Chains A and B, each alone.
Chain A
Amino acid sequence: MTWGLELASVRFGTRTALDRVTLVAAPATVSIVVGGDGAGKSTLLRALVGLVGLSSGASRRPPKSEIGYIPATAGLYVDLTVEENLAFSGGAYDVTGQEYAHRSSELLERIGLADARDRLGGQLSGGMQRKLAVAMALLHRPALLVLDEPTTGVDPVSRSELWRLISAAAATGTAVLATTTYVSEAHRASTVTLLDQGRSIATGAPSEIVGAVPGKLGVVRSAAQPRGPSWRRGTTWRLWSPSGVLPEGTEPVRPDFEDAVIIACLADERGG
């Protein structure tokens, strides 16, 4: 069964937080939504898991008992120990007895907290807290795992450990949908949706998004900003020509995923 949103819109009063977004979260895959603060990422996830109602469109999701969801700000109880946090999650999802003992040990081993069962959630580092939160959301082997910015503020080593945990869930068949503000993380997904002001402005496999870049991209090595849509990459400029004609002296370059994302944003800004 494939989960997702179809032409889903969410309005808060007169403000449209999510505007006709279509998105798929298939079993055994990782899908990632990339966008900045205020792009509508959290609203999208909340709409998918049923925490916010749709103004129009449809949401396909498994029953609540088969969803694992971590909001951006929380996901664990700081006043409970590591073990109590997991046990609470077990109680909520009816994972008890032998099954709980086995599953909680497996997950604690995996996140490196097997010897820290008695530590308070609040005493863990930020990265460890996120790993525990993901473990809590995975305890009941959900069909759909929904993670709101699981790696924001997490250092790169903890981040790669978190992604291993998330990939392992996908490898056992879970459909994973996560949000991020880091473009470089989108490479970890089989499908990426780029969200801006509540709208999906590009979607597909990272290679498809790169392949769909219209026009031509060039490198300009000058201090002054070139005329036309351009942005900095290190000490050089990237210049995008939607029509495919680059000015003389511009060195053509194949866009990478980061370029493709910026071009999608620029194209949307020009169109909008």
Chain B
Amino acid sequence: MAVLAETRRVTKRFGTFTAVDAVDLAVASGEVVGLLGSNGAGKTTLIRLLLGLLRPAGGDALLFGALPSMSTRRRVGYVPQTLGLYDDMTVLENWSFTAAAFGSARPVLPESIRDSKDELVGRLPLGLQRRVAFALAFSHEPELLVLDEPTSGVGPLSRARLWQDIRESTEHGTGVLVTTHNMEEAEQCDRLVVMVDGRVAADGAVADVIGSATVVQVTCDDWRKAFAALEEEGLIVQVQSDALRVPGSPGQVEEILARHSLPATVATVPANLEEAFVSVVTKGTHR
């Protein structure tokens, strides 16, 4: 698979603050790469370096094997979280404007948004606005798509349909870079890159990022007492519908519950992606 976008030990500083610190990232044709990280971890700066909107202090950022430029950026489709649509223009006007800006002649609106072509974008429900933004980003047949929180705010079914559009594009060879805080979305990606404090703290498929991470799962009759007892001892407890989940050792959890005379079933279970992510971020913080 051809590498479409690549950073090699790319670094960016703002004054004395190192926002991106020697990061290697590659997005190949036909794959979906998810970029995860807390706010301020450096995700947006990394994307701006890739698009040539910022100059690196060290290392390289390459688009299609060359330094980012107007001509390489033309081969990229970008959907920002705010969508970048003109609310007071119709769907068709937005479409024509984008086609003109990219110099592409594609008069036919995709079927998914054709019924709304004469509606003002600002009056459409958010799910449909997102489909319009996607259609626009796809309209010049970009080889690389960069999507920032692509399904933020949309319902479950609209989200599934937007991912259908994304996957359809990868089957035609497009490479996709997605930033997201949403774990369902992260699980749709072929590969994840987790950034902590400007560095890559973990990468690989979802299963690689979760790795062998586990949590202790507690089920008991009175979750309230168990929650209070474990929190009092300084453990970080998360409530899942009918159980408590705690990072740490089962022995310690059992000992605390026994001391409070709370009968419970304690088991070690695989962590989910969110739990693994929180663990990576907590361990990886070095600033």
Interfacial residues, chain A to chain B (CB-CB below 8 A): 28, 30, 34-39, 125-127, 152-160, 163-164, 167-168, 170-173, 181-184, 187-190, 194, 196, 205-207, 223, 225, 231-235, 258, 261-262, 265-266, 269
Contacts and interface: CB of A to CB of B under 8 A. Distances in A.
B155 A234 contact: no
B170 to A, nearest CB: 9
Contacts of A261: 156
A67 to B, nearest CB: 21
A152 B39 contact: no
Given A234-B187, A235-B190, A258-B184, A207 B242 contact: yes
B1 to A, nearest CB: 14
Given A167-B238, A235-B190, A37 B38 contact: no
Contact of B153 (A126, A181, A184, A190): A181
Contact of B237 (A34, A167, A190, A231): A167
A269 B157 contact: yes
Contacts of B231: 164, 168
Contacts of A189: 241
Nearest to B244: A167
Interface string B150-178: 00111111111101100100010000000
B155 A35 contact: yes
B259 interface: no
Nearest to A191: B241
Given A36-B155, A37-B154, A155-B181, A188 B240 contact: yes
Contacts of A232: 160, 163-164, 167, 188
B183 interface: yes
Interface in B189-221: 189-190
A156 B38 contact: yes
A34 B239 CA distance: 17
Given A160-B278, A194-B156, 7 more contacts: A155-B38, A157-B282, A160-B236, A160-B274, A184-B182, A196-B157, A265-B157
A171 B228 contact: yes
12 contacts: A36-B153, A37-B127, A37-B154, A37-B155, A39-B155, A125-B40, A156-B281, A157-B282, A159-B181, A184-B184, A225-B164, A231-B163
Chain B CB count within 10 A is highest, among A167, A170, A207, A223, for A167
B15 interface: no
Interface in B232-253: 236-242
A81 to B, nearest CB: 22
A160 B280 CA distance: 14
Contact of B154 (A36, A125, A266): A36
A39 B159 CA distance: 14
A269 B126 CA distance: 18
Contact of B183 (A157, A184, A207, A269): A184
A265 B155 CA distance: 9
A133 B245 CA distance: 25
A187 to B, nearest CB: 5
A200 B181 CA distance: 26
A187 B241 contact: yes
Contacts of A158: 38-39
B227 interface: yes
Nearest to B164: A232
Contacts of B239: 30, 163, 167, 170, 188
A225 to B, nearest CB: 8
Given A36-B126, A231-B164, A234-B187, A265 B156 contact: yes
B125 interface: yes
A182 B188 contact: no
Nearest to B149: A153
B287 interface: no
Contacts of A167: 227, 237-239
B46 to A, nearest CB: 16
B134 interface: no
Nearest to B129: A37
Contacts of A159: 181, 274
A190 to B, nearest CB: 5
A36 B152 contact: no
Contacts of A262: 156-157, 160
Given A38-B125, A155-B39, A190 B241 contact: yes
Contact of B155 (A156, A181, A233): A181
Chain A CB count within 10 A is highest, among B127, B182, B187, B277, for B182
B286 interface: no
Interface string B117-159: 0000000011100000000000000000000010011111111
